[in-house]
Structure formats: C-alpha cells, structure tokens
Chains A and B, each alone.
Chain A
Amino acid sequence: MSDPVSGAGGARPRRRRVEGLAWSVAGGGLSAVLLLLVALPVAGLVFTTSPAALWQGLRDPMVAPALRLTLATTMASLALVIGCGTPLAWVLARRRTRAWRFVETFVQLPVVLPPAVAGVALLLAFGRRGLLGPVLASVGVGLPFTRAAVVLAETFVGAPFYVQAAIAVFRRLDPDILLVARTLGASRPRVFFTVVIPIARASLAGGAAMSWARALGEFGATLMFAGNLGGRTQTLPLAIYTALESDLRTAQSLSIVLLVVAFALLVTIRLGTRA
C-alpha cells in the first residue's frame, strides 16, 4: 500500500470509484432479479392472450356461477369482519394488559398460518366430528361443504387484516378529542359513531380492502373446508384451479379478472392512505 497521503491523492479515489460501480451494479442486478420475478408472470398472464380469447374464456359455463358466488361470499365475510371486527378492535385498542395483548396477537394468527392448516383447523372446529360438530348437528346444521363454510374460511383468513388496521387507527386517536366530545353532552355510542368512525374512516376502508382482497384469493382453506363444488362452493380461485385441468384459456381469463381487481384495490388503498 502507498503512504496514506499520496494514496489519498492517487490510488484511493480510483479504487473508490470501482467499488462504487460494483456496488451499484450488484444492487441493480439483484433488484432486477426480484422485479422480473414479479413482472414476468404478470406479463405472461396479460400478453399471451387476445381480447377475443379472453372473452371466449369468460363464457365458460363455470365462470358466471363462480363469480357470483365469490362476490356474495366475500361480501358476506366482509360484513362479518367489519361488523364484529370493529368493536373487537375498539376493545383491543383501549386495553393494555398482558392478557389483552395476548388476545391481540392471537387474532393475528391467521396471517401467518398456512392455509392448509387453516382448513384442517376449521374442519376440526365446525366439521361433523369437530368441536362444535355435535352441537351444530343437533340443531340440524352441517357447515362443511356449504356456502357458509366458504364465508367462514374467507372470514378466518381476512379478518386479521381489518382488525389490525382498525386497532392501529383507534390507538392513534387523540384521547382529548373523545373526552371533549363527551363533555359536549355526547354519549359513548354517539362519540363512537360521530367522532371515532369518521376520523378513522380512511384507515378502516384500507383495512377492509386488504381483508376483502385476502378473502377474494382464499384457496387452500376453502378447498379443504368447503370443497370445490361447482355453483355451490366453487369460488373464482377454485374455478381457476379446476379450469387449468381442462381449458387453460378459461383459467387465464379468470386470472386476468382477479389480477385487474387486485391491482385496482392496491391502487385504491395506496391513494386512500395517502389522502
């Protein structure tokens, strides 16, 4: 090595330039790998079809019932998630004891749980030989392989996304705002509906969109717990799976529909959270 003073004037800057270049190239290359990994499948989905083929694929008799079923079940599960998840999040946001924090963590479990495990778990809870099976059977209810099972599976996997977003926004609320509202004569319910919900609206909508997107894509748990019965429990992802065996075009057309919906949701969420 040269002495530090002359080195600083001659060899060092050049070595730094080379290092800098290598750093940029390596960073750019590795980034490109991941970008391509995401972009290529999307491109494959979109660019290997024509509008005519797309339309043809969508006319498969399997498509309309799956679309209707998916819309109906995901809407039902979304109503369940919002209706029960909002009060749950409100309670969790305001309790700070260790027991409640455990409940909060527990509610997040479905996010990391493999869908296949969720399917088995749902069967073992609501199935004929599950925990609630005998009770349900005694009142003449059999859940597995019904639409209700589809809704339950979608709720199970989708709820945590909404609940987490709701807890986060409820925790950010200024407690003075809630207190002032009450000093102005508002009861707790009035404060909740006229102050809390309007202030939290954008974040709640974002969480609901994430939850709906997750429900929309639900595959594994639905397959195991609700089955894949055309017109009864066959949602869009299951229809894609089924179509793949017979008609790639139909699978591709349905996939593009879901892709467009998913992308629109993503853009909406990003715009919503920015506002």
Chain B
Amino acid sequence: MTAPALDVDVTGRIGDLTVEVTLRISAGSTVPTVIVGPNGAGKTSALMMILGALTPTRGRVALDDVCLFDATRGIDVPIEERRIGFLPQRYALFPHLDVLANVAYGIVGEPPAARARRASGALRALGVEGLARRRPQELSGGEAQRVGLARALAHGPRALLLDEPLAALDVAVRRDVRQFLVAHLRALAIPTVIVTHDRADAEAFDGELLVLEDGVIGQRGTLAEVAARPATAFARTFFASERGP
C-alpha cells in the first residue's frame, strides 16, 4: 500500500459531543471514504476538523505529506491554505454571482480571461457549461449540485469533502445525480470523504465505510463487510431497512 494521501487522526469537541475520527485514503484511490451515522453523531464535525473549521483538541491531519494540523507541534494551517474542496449539503452557491463567477471564485492569480476559461472548463467537465450565465436562484437542485462540485474542483484541490451531497435533491432526480456523481468521483481519483445518512448513497459510492455513532467510529470496513456483520445498533438498522430510493 502506498503512503496515505489523506491521513486523519483527530479528536474534537462540539457542544457536549466528543468526536474521534481516524481515516486514511491512499493516493490515487478511486473510491471515496463514506461516513454514515445517525443525525447528531458528529459526521459534519468530522468534516469540519479536516477542513480546519473546527479545531481538534488532539491529533493530526496530513494531506500529501503536508501537515495541516498537529496539536502537539502547534500546527494549524488556515482553511484557505488547505486546498481541500468542500461541497456542503445545500451547496451554498454565492447568490450574488452568476454560475461562471461562482466557479471562478477559487481561481486566483490569473488574468480574468484565463480565469473564465478555466471556470468554463470546470463547468464543461460536469456537463453544465450552458448554465454559465444563470443565477444560482434559477438552478434546479441537480444543476446546483453540479455547479457546486465544479466550483469545489475548479481550483485544483488535493482532496474533496462532500456533506450529504444528495440529501437536498428530490427523490425523482436523486438516482440519476447519484450515478453521475459516482462515475465522476471515480474518474477524478482524488481523496474524497462523503458524509451520508442514506443507505442507497453508501451502496452506490461503495468505498470504505465508517459507521460513526455518538462521535465514535463503531465499525469500519467495506460495505459488504459491514452489511454482513453489522456491529452496532445503527449499522444493524441501516442495513436491515429496505433499499432506499
């Protein structure tokens, strides 16, 4: 096994909950790490600690051999220097900018024409270059998700975090968007962490599964392993239920 590209071992506190997360994703991995768990288990907090938006109380985060956080050495690289792409649950597009400007926001140090070209390229890669002049308010859920993803990838991040990427979508379009997302992430091959509470998502992304409950990883393994021998109460209900949409 090659050295991990994303190497996380942190503990943090959010309110009364202590969240402990360890995960390793090797360079060139084409499958994401999927964190599942009930509401309030600390899934989003885990992402926040990797992003740098929540300061862990102990541990370390490294990406491509660059230390982003180390409690003992007092290292805490600010969010904007971590180069980790992030797609929040409701995509959080900038409402005052059109789609192209949204995607170009993270591209800096280039003349305007070059920025626009790169942003167009990022939109094209996701099949939505036709939306360039639209406002975020005019997009459907699926379109907004692709634009959000294009924006998260346009500046060439070294890792990607997706928080419930499908939860905001209508059931009717969720399946198509999910298939597209799975295929796109596979082609990207950068370390990716996805948070979901939806079994169908977990099955579709089919990466390493972390079951997070009350801030602690209760079980980890491939989807098949966890499904065959669910070790926690949540894992049992998660896989006992009927197949999701």
Residues on A lying within 8 angstroms of B by beta carbon are: 174, 176-177, 179-187, 194-195, 198-199, 201
Which of B51, B80, B82, B83 touches A187 (beta carbons < 8 Å)? B80
Which of A179, A182, A184, A187: most chain B CB closer than 10 A?
Answer: A184
The DSSP consensus for interface residues of chain A is helix
Contact B80 A177 (CB under 8 A): no
* A–B pairs, 29, beta carbons within 8 Å: A174-B90, A174-B92, A176-B88, A177-B92, A177-B94, A179-B51, A179-B79, A179-B88, A180-B86, A180-B92, A180-B151, A182-B53, A182-B79, A183-B80, A183-B82, A183-B84, A183-B106, A183-B157, A184-B105, A185-B106, A185-B108, A186-B80, A187-B78, A187-B80, A195-B96, A198-B96, A199-B94, A199-B96, A201-B96
Cα–Cα distance between A181 and B155 once the two chains are bound (Å): 12
Cα–Cα distance between A194 and B95 once the two chains are bound (Å): 12
Which of A176, A185, A187 touches B92 (beta carbons < 8 Å)? A176
**Chain B contact residue count (CB 8 A cutoff):** 26
The interface bits of chain B over 67-90 (1 if a CB of A lies within 8 angstroms of the residue's CB, else 0) are 000000000001111111110111
**Contacts A179-B51, A183-B79 supplied; 15 other A-B pairs, CB < 8 Å:** A174-B92, A177-B92, A179-B86, A179-B88, A179-B92, A180-B86, A180-B151, A182-B53, A183-B80, A184-B106, A184-B151, A184-B155, A185-B155, A194-B105, A195-B94
Cα–Cα distance between A198 and B94 once the two chains are bound (Å): 10
A180 contacts across to B, CB distance below 8 A: 86, 88, 92, 151-152
Cα–Cα distance between A187 and B96 once the two chains are bound (Å): 19
Residues on B lying within 8 angstroms of A by beta carbon are: 51, 53, 78-86, 88-90, 92-96, 105-106, 108, 151-152, 155, 157
Chain A, residue nearest B90 (CB): A176
B152 contacts across to A, CB distance below 8 A: 180, 183-184
Q: A176-B88, A176-B90 are in contact. Are A182 and B95 (CB under 8 A)?
A: no
Contact B86 A185 (CB under 8 A): no
Chain B, residue nearest A180 (CB): B92
Output the least CB separation between A194 and chain B (Å): 8
B155 contacts across to A, CB distance below 8 A: 184-185
